[in-house]
C-alpha cells in the first residue's frame, strides 16, 4: 500500500482558508478577542505630567520637583503658643513633677543622679532605634566593653548622650561650629567615620543648623518645655541626624527643657524613663505638645519613684551589712545605687576590690535578700538591687 507524503502546515505551498500566502496572518484578521489590549490613550498615562497648552511641562510637575517642595504641614511660633495655652494645666503638672525630682536629687546621694542618667540614656537609645540595654551601657562606660562589633557605633552614641546629659551645658545654638562640636560631628564633609555618611556634614550641616536655630530662637517667649518640643520636631523634620542618630536631637531637646531648672541638680529633663510617648507624638502642635508634656510628667514621676525605692533600699542595706568587715560592702552598696544592673567586672572596677572579694560579698548580699541575680548562670552573672 502506497502512502501519500504528508504536507506540513508550514509548507508554503499549502494555503489554509483565510491565510495569506506564506502562512502569516494579517493584523486585522478576525474580530478582536476579549484579551486583546486596546491601544493606549495619552489620557490614561497618569504617571506622566500634564502638559501645558504650549506643550511644555509646567514647573513643579516632575518627581524631583515634588521631592524638593517644602512639607505642607509647617508649624509657626504662633501655633506652638496656642498649643501652650491649650495645655496650661498639663504644662503645670509636668513642671511640678520635674521640679520635685530636681529637689530630690539635690538632697539625695550622688548615685541617684548617675543612675537616673544611665537609665534615661538606655531608654532613649532603645526607643530611637539603638538596642542598647543599661547593662551593656554600664560595661561600655566603665570598661569600654562592647558585645559585638556591630554594637560599637550604637554604644558610642549612647556614651556620647551619657556624657552630654551628665555634665555638659548647651552650646551656642546659633553657631554651627559650636553645635557640631557639641554633637561630635565632623566640621567638613568626607570625614573618616563611616557613621557620618548618613548624617549631613560641612556646608549642608551649617545651613540646616542655622535654619533650626532660627526656628528655636523664634520660641524665646515660650516655656522651655514647649521650646524643647518644637526643637525636637524641627530637628526630626530637618534630618540633622539622619536615620541613625536621632538620640542627638533628643539630648538637645532634653537640655533645652532643662533651662526651666536652677543650675546644678538634675541638669536635664527626662523624656523616656516611662516610655517613648513624648518622642513619638505626631500631628498638629496641640497633639504633639500634649504627648510631649505627658511623657515628661510620667518620666519625672518614674524617677521620683526610683529615688524613693533606692533611698529606702540603701538604708536597709547599710543596716543589714553593718556586721561585715572591710570597706567593700559599703562600696558595693554605692555601686548598686549608681547602676541599675552590675556585673563582677564592673563592681571590681568601681570598688577597686579583687574579683574574689566582689563575688564573695555579692553572694552574701544575695543571701541577705539585698540583690537579685538576673541571669541564672554560674558565670557572667548580673545583679540588681532588690528594691
Question: Residue 189's pLDDT is what?
Answer: 46
Residues 28-81: tens digit of each pLDDT: 556 666 666 666 565 555 556 566 666 666 665 555 554 444 444 568 888 999
Residue 370: HSE in the Cβ half-sphere, 13 Å Cα cutoff:
24
Q: What are the two backbone dihedrals, phi and then psi, of residue 385, each rounded to the nearest 5 degrees?
A: -65, 135
Question: Residue 27's pLDDT is what?
Answer: 54
Report which secondary-structure segment, H or E, holds 343: strand 342-343
Q: Which residues of the chain register pLDDT less than 50?
A: 6-22, 66-72, 188-196
CATH of domain 321-385: 1.10.10.10
**Beta strands 371-373 and 382-385, pairing class:** antiparallel
Write the CB contacts of 10 (distance below 8 Å, at least 6 apart in sequence): 23
Report which secondary-structure segment, H or E, holds 38: none
**Residues 367, 352: Cα–Cα separation, whole Å:** 23
Report which secondary-structure segment, H or E, holds 45: none
Question: Residue 325's pLDDT is what?
Answer: 85
**Residues 37, 24: Cα–Cα separation, whole Å:** 21
Question: Residue 52's pLDDT is what?
Answer: 64
Question: Residue 191's pLDDT is what?
Answer: 45
Check the CA dihedral 240-224-338-129 and report its sign. negative
Write the CB contacts of 359 (distance below 8 Å, at least 6 apart in sequence): 344
Write the CB contacts of 364 (distance below 8 Å, at least 6 apart in sequence): 321, 324, 329
Residues 68-96: tens digit of each pLDDT: 444 445 688 889 999 999 999 999 999 99
The full set of domain ranges for the chain reads: 75-304, 321-385
CATH of domain 75-304: 1.10.3290
- Cα–Cα separations (whole angstroms), residue 236 to 149, 207, 253, 264, 377: 28, 15, 11, 29, 42
Amino acid at each position: 500500500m502506497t502512502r501519500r507524503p504528508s504536507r506540513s502546515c508550514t509548507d508554503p505551498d499549502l494555503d489554509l482558508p483565510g491565510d495569506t500566502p506564506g502562512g502569516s496572518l494579517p493584523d486585522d484578521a478576525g474580530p478582536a478577542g476579549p484579551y486583546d489590549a486596546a491601544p493606549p490613550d495619552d489620557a490614561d498615562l497618569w504617571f506622566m505630567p500634564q502638559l501645558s497648552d504650549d506643550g511644555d511641562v509646567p514647573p513643579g510637575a516632575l518627581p524631583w520637583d515634588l521631592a524638593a517642595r517644602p512639607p505642607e504641614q509647617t508649624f509657626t511660633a504662633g501655633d506652638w503658643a496656642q498649643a501652650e495655652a491649650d495645655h496650661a494645666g498639663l504644662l503645670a503638672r509636668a513642671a511640678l513633677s520635674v521640679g520635685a525630682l530636681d529637689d530630690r536629687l539635690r538632697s539625695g546621694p550622688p548615685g541617684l543622679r548617675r543612675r537616673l542618667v544611665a537609665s534615661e540614656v538606655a531608654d532613649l537609645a532603645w526607643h530611637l532605634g539603638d538596642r542598647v540595654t543599661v547593662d551593656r551601657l554600664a560595661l561600655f562606660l566603665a570598661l569600654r566593653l562592647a558585645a559585638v562589633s556591630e554594637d560599637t557605633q550604637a554604644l558610642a552614641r549612647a556614651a556620647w548622650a551619657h556624657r552630654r546629659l551628665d555634665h555638659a551645658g548647651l552650646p551656642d545654638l546659633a553657631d554651627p561650629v559650636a553645635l557640631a562640636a557639641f554633637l561630635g560631628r565632623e566640621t567638613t564633609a568626607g570625614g573618616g567615620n563611616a557613621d557620618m555618611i548618613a548624617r549631613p556634614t560641612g556646608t549642608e550641616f551649617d545651613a540646616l543648623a542655622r535654619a533650626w536655630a532660627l526656628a528655636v530662637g523664634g520660641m524665646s517667649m515660650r516655656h522651655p518645655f514647649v521650646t524643647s518640643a518644637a526643637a525636637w520636631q524641627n530637628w526630626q523634620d530637618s534630618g540633622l541626624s539622619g536615620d541613625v542618630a536621632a538620640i542627638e536631637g533628643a539630648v538637645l531637646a532634653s537640655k533645652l527643657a532643662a533651662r526651666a531648672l536652677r543650675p546644678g541638680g538634675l541638669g536635664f529633663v527626662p523624656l523616656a524613663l516611662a516610655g517613648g510617648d513624648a518622642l513619638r507624638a505626631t500631628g498638629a502642635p496641640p497633639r504633639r505638645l500634649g504627648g510631649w508634656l505627658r511623657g515628661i510628667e510620667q518620666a519625672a514621676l518614674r524617677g521620683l519613684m526610683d529615688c524613693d525605692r533606692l533611698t529606702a533600699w540603701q538604708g536597709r542595706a547599710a543596716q543589714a551589712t553593718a556586721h561585715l568587715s572591710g570597706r567593700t560592702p559599703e562600696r558595693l552598696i554605692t555601686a548598686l545605687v549608681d547602676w541599675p544592673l552590675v556585673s563582677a567586672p564592673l563592681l571590681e572596677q568601681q570598688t577597686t576590690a579583687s574579683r574574689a572579694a566582689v563575688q564573695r560579698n555579692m553572694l552574701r548580699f544575695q543571701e541577705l535578700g539585698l540583690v537579685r541575680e538576673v541571669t541564672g548562670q554560674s558565670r557572667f552573672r548580673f545583679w540588681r538591687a532588690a528594691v
